[in-house]
Amino acid sequence: MTALINDRLLRALRREPVDVTPVWLMRQAGRYLPEYRATRSRAGDFMSLCQSPQLALEVTMQPLERFALDAAILFSDILTVPDAMGLGLYFEEGEGPRFRQPVTTPAAIEALPIPDAERDLGYVMDAVRLIRRELAGRVPLIGFSGSPWTLATYMVEGQSSRDFRTIKRMLLDQPEALELLLDKLTLAVTDYLNGQIAAGVQAVQIFDTWGGTLTTGWYERFSLRPMARIVAGLNPAPDGSRVPVILFTKQGGLWLERIAATGCDALGLDWTVDIGEARARVGDRVALQGNLDPVVLYASPAAIRHEVGDILARYGAGNGHVFNLGHGIHPQIEPDHVAALVDAVHELSLPYHRVQG
Ligand code: CP3
């Protein structure tokens, strides 16, 4: 395999010295880019885009052609796993994801198959292999999955939810059924991420978008424990190196110490957390990724630059910071504003790394 030309991301995730702070953005390939919208309309719909390795490669590369990003992220979706379990994923224009067969009964959960990454999600593995070849070591490729809890919310609710009343009722009235669902998802996600690692991803992120809606006790049992089992079950890369794992629990700021104790390599932070305080709490154990409010990107380039400077100053000098947003980019953002963000991270972070040997 080609050696990496730009290895800032992997160095920062290992808390090793870097020249400037690396930056990538959640949803960096997406609807805010006109070239993404063009490729998606050629594909016909979002799922066809995900299921075509050639088109997934094309949209993965689009933000790298425009911006000096330090990583590529596989273009796919977290809901491909429940789709491969037979739930029938589809996207209703403007309404988000839906399942034709939500799982609402213990019998339906019992019957769920655990997909095999190469057999049932081969289009994702093929996309990873194509992207690695095309990148040729330019930047590392990040793979990802949803957390078992976050996937379960969509599978049980059947769609996005405001208050998660169906799955929380299952949690209270049928906890064994929910545990079984989470056990199956834990196996499915571990195999899926190991498939991506075998195919060539160089870091992985687990998106726990909805863990932050739980009580602390429920979070530990139903979201954090499954993620810890996944972290423990991940394989090394084909060359034998450890593949760093980033855990991102949105609204997980209360639980940083507990998340760091899973054995993950980095924590993703949403924008409600002071990244300097987070560093004082867990920075001797894990790297930190984040955490600009995505809404800042609606403001002027000067204001964006100011906010970037503020986060870099709060983190302070030294290793272990990966710059990112606190959640995904909104579809209405002006691409020039993303360029202002990426350039500001590289320019303004230089003084924080100079002292490094
Ligand atoms: O970050 C990237 O560039 C990689 C691609 C990526 C997508 N989805 C593409 C996508 C990643 C990492 C995801 C993760 C994902 N998907 C999450 C976790 C992160 C988060 O945002 O909280 C979740 C909860 C989903 C489920 C999902 N997929 C929803 C709720 C939606 C609809 C909402 C929306 O933004 O439209 C999607 C669709 C989706 N996934 C789009 C993209 C680019 C938009 C689809 C389109 O082109 O119309």
Is residue 162 situated within a structural domain? yes
Domain limits at 170? 26-284
Is residue 100 situated within a structural domain? yes
Q: Catalytic site residues?
A: 27, 31, 40, 77, 154
CA of 30 to the centre of ligand 1 (A): 8
Is residue 52 situated within a structural domain? yes
CATH code at 100? Answer: 3.20.20.210
Q: Please report, in tens digits, the pLDDT of each residue of the chain (357 residues total).
A: 568 999 999 999 999 999 999 999 999 999 999 999 999 999 999 999 999 999 999 999 999 999 999 999 999 999 999 999 999 999 988 889 999 999 999 999 999 999 999 999 999 999 999 999 999 999 999 999 999 999 999 999 999 999 999 999 999 999 999 999 999 999 999 999 999 999 999 999 999 999 999 999 999 999 999 999 999 999 999 999 999 999 999 999 999 999 999 999 999 999 999 999 999 999 999 999 999 999 999 999 999 999 999 999 999 999 999 999 999 999 999 999 999 999 999 999 999 997 544
- Rounded to whole angstroms, the Cα distance separating 269 from 266 reads 10
Number of domains in the chain: 1
- Rounded to whole angstroms, the Cα distance separating 117 from 66 reads 32
Q: HSE of 100 in the Cβ direction (CA atoms, 13 Å)?
A: 8
Is residue 304 situated within a structural domain? no
Sequential DSSP letters for 135-196: HTTSS-EEEEEE-HHHHHHHHHHSB--SS-HHHHHHHHH-HHHHHHHHHHHHHHHHHHHHHH
In terms of C-beta density within 10 A (0-12 exposed, 13-18 middle, 19 or more buried), how is residue 348 classed?
Answer: buried
Is residue 70 situated within a structural domain? yes
Ligand 1 in contact with 40 (CB < 6 A)? yes
Residue positions counted in the chain: 357
Whether 40 contacts 53, CB under 8 Å: no
Q: Which two tokens stand for residue 193?
A: 């991420």
Is residue 270 situated within a structural domain? yes
Q: What is the dihedral of CA 28, 34, 35, 36, to 10 degrees?
A: 50
Looking at ligand 1, which atom is closest to the CA of residue 60?
3
Looking at ligand 1, which atom is closest to the CA of residue 31?
47
User: Cis omega (within 30 of 0) on the bond before 324?
Assistant: no
CA of 214 to the centre of ligand 1 (A): 22
CA of 77 to the centre of ligand 1 (A): 6
Is residue 222 situated within a structural domain? yes
Show Cβ contacts of residue 265 under 8 Å, excluding neighbours closer than 6 positions.
Answer: 13, 14, 242, 244, 245, 246, 286, 287
Q: What's the pTM value of the predicted model, to 2 decimals?
A: 0.97
Whether 282 contacts 260, CB under 8 Å: yes
- Cα 268-315-146 angle, rounded to 5 deg: 5
Is residue 107 situated within a structural domain? yes
Whether 74 contacts 141, CB under 8 Å: yes
Distances (CA, A) of 279 to 12, 196, 312: 14, 30, 12
Ligand 1 in contact with 77 (CB < 6 A)? yes
